[in-house]
Every structure is written in C-alpha cells, then in structure tokens.
C-alpha cells in the first residue's frame, strides 16, 4: 500500500472516530426508564463502517481510540469503567461483524455479518457485566443479576439499531470511499 493510500486510510479512520464522538455527544437516549443509565447512542455506526471498509484490525483500532476519546470527553462521567465496557462491547460487535464480512462481501454477507456481530456483543456483555460491573461500580453481583434482563435487552437494541443503520448507510459510504480512492 502506498504512502498516499496509508495517509488517506488513516485520515478516513480519524474522521470516523470524530463522527463517532460527535454522534455520542448529540444522541444518547435512555431506553428503559428503570435503568436510565443504559443509553442508546449511534456511535458504533461509523466504527462498524470502518471495520467493513478497512478490516477487523482497523475496526478494533478505531474502537479503542474512539472509546478513549469519548471516555475522556463527552462520557467522562463513566470514567475507566465506561471506556473499558465500550471497548469490550463495540470490540465484540465490530470484530465479529468485520471478520464475517471480510469473507462474504455482499449485501447478504453484510446482513449475516451484522447479525453475528449483534449476537456476539449481547453474549460477551453478559459475563462482562457480571464480573466487571460489580468491581467498578461497587455493587453486589446480585444487583447486576437482577438487572440482567435489561442489560441483555439494552445491548440487543443498541447493537441491533446500529447494525440496521450501518446496513442502510454502508453502501453509500463505501461508494464515497472508493471515489476518494481510500479502499
């Protein structure tokens, strides 16, 4: 890959990180009133697009950088716990989706990849919440177990909405990236 391509790819990845931070800054909607701290945000859409366009490693790199920036700025109230949870949740979603999509680059392949990514995020976040949340939040594990239905539903809704929006947007963005000679 030429220096020009590397520069364009890195610049595009940086733009996708910025889009992710802006999205979480402007859009964060509580899904369940009982657990209003579980908020939907569309920040993963640009990260998923990056994973599809540039592969799993790029998707994970963008996940980590976006999580750090979001956790130190717009979501600073969640501190290290929020950064870690975002890296794990989005990392699972993006890694699985982009790995599957890399093998099946078609509209159907994208749909299957996103469904697999959503399932991965939902599944990974169950033990993650059971073990990490009590440690960081200083709450009994039983409290997390009692909220597990909300946690699973939240992750399914958040990842599902972001997957649907990614599916709808990716081809348009992909055409733009090809036009810019970034892919």
Is 69's pLDDT higher than 70? yes
Please state the separation of Cα 148 from the chain's center in Å: 20
**Residue for token pair 């997390």:** 144
Question: How does pLDDT run across 131-165, given as a tens digit for each residue?
Answer: 999 999 999 999 999 999 999 999 999 999 999 99
Averaged pLDDT for residues 31-42? 92
pTM of the model: 0.92
pLDDT: which is higher, 182 or 112: 112
Whole-number pLDDT of residue 181 = 62
Q: Does residue 30 sit in helix, strand or coil?
A: strand
pLDDT: which is higher, 155 or 171: 155
DSSP label of 2:
-
Delineate the domains of the chain, giving CATH numbers in brackets.
Answer: 3-27+42-179 (1.10.1760.20)
């Amino acid at each position: 890959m030429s220096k020009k391509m590397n520069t364009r790819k890195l610049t595009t990845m940086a733009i996708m990180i910025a889009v992710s931070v802006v999205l979480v800054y402007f859009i964060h909607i509580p899904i369940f009133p009982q657990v209003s701290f579980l908020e939907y945000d569309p920040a993963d859409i640009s990260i998923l697009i990056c994973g599809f366009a540039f592969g799993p490693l790029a998707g994970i790199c963008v996940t980590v950088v976006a999580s750090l920036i979001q956790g130190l700025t717009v979501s600073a109230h969640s501190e290290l716990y929020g950064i870690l949870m975002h890296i794990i949740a989005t990392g699972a979603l993006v890694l699985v989706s982009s790995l599957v999509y890399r093998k099946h680059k078609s509209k159907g392949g994208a749909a299957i990849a996103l469904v697999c990514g959503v399932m991965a995020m939902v599944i990974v976040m169950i033990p993650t919440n059971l073990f990490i949340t009590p440690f960081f939040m200083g709450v009994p594990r039983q409290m997390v177990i009692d909220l597990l239905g909300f946690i699973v539903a939240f992750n399914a809704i958040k990842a599902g909405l972001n997957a649907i929006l990614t599916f709808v947007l990716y081809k348009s963005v992909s055409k733009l990236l090809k036009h810019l000679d970034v892919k």
